[in-house]
Structure 1
Amino acid sequence: MLIIGLIIVVAALVFATVKLRVHPFLALLLAAFVMALIGGIAPKEAISVINDGFGGTLGYIGIVIALGTIIGVILDRTGAAIVMAEAIIRALSDRFPNLTATIIGYIVSIPVFCDSGYVILNSLKNALAKKAGVSMVAMSVALATGLFATHNFVPPTPGPIAAASNIGIADALGLVILFGLVVAAVAAAVGWLWASRYTHANDDELLEPDPIEEATGQEVKKPEPDLANPPTTLAAFMPILAPIILISIGSIASLATRDVDPGMFAAALIFLGQPVVALAIGVVFALLLVKGGDKRGRFHQMTVDAVLLAAPILLITGAGGAFGSVLQETPIGDQLGDMLTGLGLGLLVPFLLAAALKSAQGSSTVALVAASSMVAPLLPALGLDSDMGMVLAVMAVGAGAMTVSHANDSFFWVVTQFSRMKVSTAYKAYTTATLLQGVSAMIVIYLLGLVFV
């Protein structure tokens, strides 16, 4: 009954946002409340769960979105985004811009959470799309799927580390990383190929109107980038590179000291690697790009514009988190586990279990943690209690945790809102891509299982 209820609620959510043009913020809140009632949560408690889910999501990603948007506006207005795009095209050519975006996402998301990575790289992605003359939808899907691939398979991202620990292979994390890089490469390639279908798509039909224009009802004349005095290539990249480097170093320091008390130096690196701190430092580097007279006034106006751009993204992302939080409070995970764990399908069991959890409650990390915990006692019965069996079980859980990203996933809303994709477009272009990524990754894992298990 609960699973059927979820299917109906998600279908109604898509219908409301696509056909009835209900704002996703309101549609998600209503869906969360209805799902809470279907799941047996009392109305008063449901409101509390929704509030906690909304606040918890924004507590994690809200400031990152705001700071990342400020950086993006400054990079756009100062011409730095164009300088970066030209530098990347010079280095990699402009023949395969979607592949470039996928590779960037694949690398960045190894140490950086995919949603933080998307926020950081959004302005660069937009500039690359404009410079290469390809659809913004294609570049957005290519970047998002590249980020999503390593996010689910490759430590030090917390989800794969937790899955490896739960399954009992944390001592061989190197093997998890090695196989994760291979499987993630296949998933990223599939995402790139799917994104390439939209390379020459008509963005006017696929994207929402500018959010500021939609809110004010007036056409907003955006200042042209300052191309008369462009920044140097290094200066242009620093607002993006600095946060990525700091988060990467912080992740490595955290991983190296997770079983011991970190010293002062490691603690400092971990602090600087917190996404909020790293993005704040990125804003400082972005501020250095503002040249000419009245720097204070120009920076203030850029900040105001960034806040206006970030506001709807924050509300929708928070509401998506609230919907996912409600689903985590219902017994749907236990019901799905009971349905799948007795099937005796080898590596397909952790995949199907994680896929069901991911699709039901939205969070890839939660799916990785929960599914790995549930499947760990079943490993001997599944014939996966060897070292390689456990490594591939982690991979199977990661593949399932990709399948699929939709309206109850906060990353879905980060991608769609920063890219201004219509919800209908996002389901066709991005959600379908995550389904293909998960299934193709699982096929590779199954074949590896035939060889190594």
Structure 2
Amino acid sequence: MILASLLLPIAVAAIVFLVQKVRLPVFLAVMATVVVYGIAADMTFQSVGKAFGLGFATALEQTGLLVVAGALVGAVVLRAPLGTGTSAAAGVLAGLGASASGGLALLQPAGQDAPRRALGLALTLLAAAALLAPSPLAVAAASVMKASIRTELMIAVPVAAVAIALGWWHVARQIPSTDEPGRLNWAWLCVAIPLVLLVVQSIAQMPSEPLGKGGSREFYIGISKPLMLAAIAITLAIVLARRWEPSALAGRSWAPLLLAVGASGGLARVFDETGMAELLAEYVLHPRYGVLTPFLAAAIVKTMQGNSLTAVLTASGMVEPMLPALGLDSASGRAIAAAAVGAGSMAICHVNDPFFWIAAHMGRLSPGRALYVVSLGSAVMAIGALIVIAAIRQFI
């Protein structure tokens, strides 16, 4: 397992090399890396193939359909980006939804000819998803930590504001300002309505069941599934376009990104099969680290495994029994611990996360450049959030 963790940065470097120097498509580069990584990590051929297949299928089911929907909506009706303020607002709204990568996939049209705003939107979404309820990440952290969602939200709002500001600052330093003017019109309803439904799904899935139980809950969750959201978005785009353009729907520009999303899901599943994430997270479970413990546990799992929800659940489950030893056993302390887990789940977003590839596509970045902008940006936001959380702890 230790060997597997040491091989991870080599795998990341190999993917970047194969894409940028050898000119392989992302899908083939990831697939080749998975095979070599599995052999080097002493996994069987059967386990590597099974893990990659399961991760690939899951990523396509959860995010792939929305990648296609976002691309088709952009081709049919939305041909201009959003403005800066609207992009930030859209990022926050999408971050509250049930799927961060799905929300970003739907918002692909927002980044057309506006790479700086596209990447700012992506990092905004990442921060909101990690910290703000009713996002599943924030709700899961508060639930496992036995913290009040209201208290956690009071702490998380200023933390998220600082993280989002840092994200835009980082992007502004890395990406030149060559964006096209933004434009907001009624056609954006074909993206806004699915995003709102994703938020409704988040609310319906909360443990308190605020939208009702049984049939009501199943209805809200069912209508927010990727297939339904894709159908709603594409149908609305066709209606709002007011003209029939079969050539736009027949385009295949989304295919490379779709395969990259699936491959990243497969890569994450292979990394997860080694068990290295949990093993490394156990090394930071020490009382002397205080609020740094939940942050590091979540950050390690997210970096190694690529799934923010898994990072939150794993880190929260590990840390919750330790809260008395960490001095975080009060109502406010548990909320702080939940926020720290959320902050850790932001970092580091890289090649084993479908979100990374969607953001890189929207920002027109090569994998190496995306590591510097998206991955480093997620780390900058996470560290900034941790500093704010530590400061808040001193006053409550």
Look up the SS of the partner of 2:77 in the other structure.
Answer: helix
1:62-77 equivalences in 2 (<5 Å): 62-76=64-78
Aligned CA distance change for structure 1 residues 281 and 257 (closer, same or farther; 3 Å): farther
1:189 shift after superposition: 0.6
2:213 matches 1:237: no
Aligned CA distance change for structure 1 residues 353 and 259 (closer, same or farther; 3 Å): same
Give the corresponding residue for 1:93: none
Aligned CA distance change for structure 1 residues 64 and 336 (closer, same or farther; 3 Å): same
Output one character per residue of 1:77-114: Cα deviation in whole Å (capped at 9) or x when no partner: xxxx44xx5xx65xxxxxxx3x5423331233113522
Q: Give the share of equivalent positions with the same residue, in percent.
A: 29
Q: How far apart in 1 are the matches of 2:87 and 2:51?
A: 37
Give the corresponding residue for 1:301: 247
Checking the alignment, whether the CA contact within 8 Å between 1:39 and 1:331 is kept in structure 2 is: no
Q: How far apart in 1 are the matches of 2:207 and 2:48?
A: 40
Aligned CA distance change for structure 1 residues 40 and 269 (closer, same or farther; 3 Å): same
AA of the residue aligned to 1:431: S
Output one character per residue of 1:197-249: Cα deviation in whole Å (capped at 9) or x when no partner: 2453679xxxxxxxxxxxxxxxxxxxxxxxxxx9x933x12212221222223
Give the corresponding residue for 1:349: 293
Give the corresponding residue for 1:184: 160
AA of the residue aligned to 1:178: M
1:270 shift after superposition: 3.0
2:29 matches 1:27: yes
Look up the SS of the partner of 1:22 in the other structure.
Answer: coil
Q: How far apart in 2 are the matches of 1:104 and 1:48?
A: 37
2:46 matches 1:44: yes
Residue correspondences, number: 391
1:191 shift after superposition: 0.5
2:229 matches 1:278: yes
Let me know the Cα RMSD of the aligned residues.
Answer: 2.4
Q: How far apart in 2 are the matches of 1:384 and 1:243?
A: 38
1:343 shift after superposition: 6.2
Aligned CA distance change for structure 1 residues 386 and 152 (closer, same or farther; 3 Å): same
1:358 shift after superposition: 1.2
AA of the residue aligned to 1:301: S
Give the corresponding residue for 1:227: none
Q: How far apart in 2 are the matches of 1:256 and 1:376?
A: 18
145, 166, 179: which one pairs with 2:123?
145
Aligned CA distance change for structure 1 residues 287 and 369 (closer, same or farther; 3 Å): same
1:30 shift after superposition: 2.2
1:260 shift after superposition: 9.5
Checking the alignment, whether the CA contact within 8 Å between 2:115 and 2:362 is kept in structure 1 is: no
**Structure 1 residues 143-152 or 256-265, which shifts more?**
256-265
Aligned CA distance change for structure 1 residues 416 and 387 (closer, same or farther; 3 Å): same
Give the corresponding residue for 1:61: 63
421, 431, 441: which one pairs with 2:365?
421
Give the corresponding residue for 1:154: 132
1:157 shift after superposition: 1.7
1:395 shift after superposition: 1.0
Checking the alignment, whether the CA contact within 8 Å between 2:163 and 2:384 is kept in structure 1 is: yes
**Structure 1 residues 16-25 or 45-54, which shifts more?**
16-25
111, 128, 146: which one pairs with 2:97?
111
1:123 shift after superposition: 0.9
Q: How far apart in 2 are the matches of 1:192 and 1:48?
A: 39
Give the corresponding residue for 2:255: 311
Give the corresponding residue for 1:403: 347
1:256 shift after superposition: 7.1
Give the corresponding residue for 2:4: 2
Q: How far apart in 2 are the matches of 1:44 and 1:111?
A: 35
AA of the residue aligned to 1:274: K
Output one character per residue of 1:87-146: Cα deviation in whole Å (capped at 9) or x when no partner: x65xxxxxxx3x5423331233113522122122221332xxx4xxxxx33122101001
Q: How far apart in 2 are the matches of 1:272 and 1:233?
A: 25
Q: How far apart in 1 are the matches of 2:133 and 2:40?
A: 36
AA of the residue aligned to 1:233: N
Output one character per residue of 1:292-313: Cα deviation in whole Å (capped at 9) or x when no partner: 5xx2xx2x211111xx111111
AA of the residue aligned to 2:139: I
1:2 shift after superposition: 2.8
Aligned CA distance change for structure 1 residues 274 and 383 (closer, same or farther; 3 Å): same
Q: How far apart in 2 are the matches of 1:340 and 1:251?
A: 31
Q: How far apart in 1 are the matches of 2:15 and 2:394?
A: 41
Checking the alignment, whether the CA contact within 8 Å between 2:278 and 2:314 is kept in structure 1 is: no
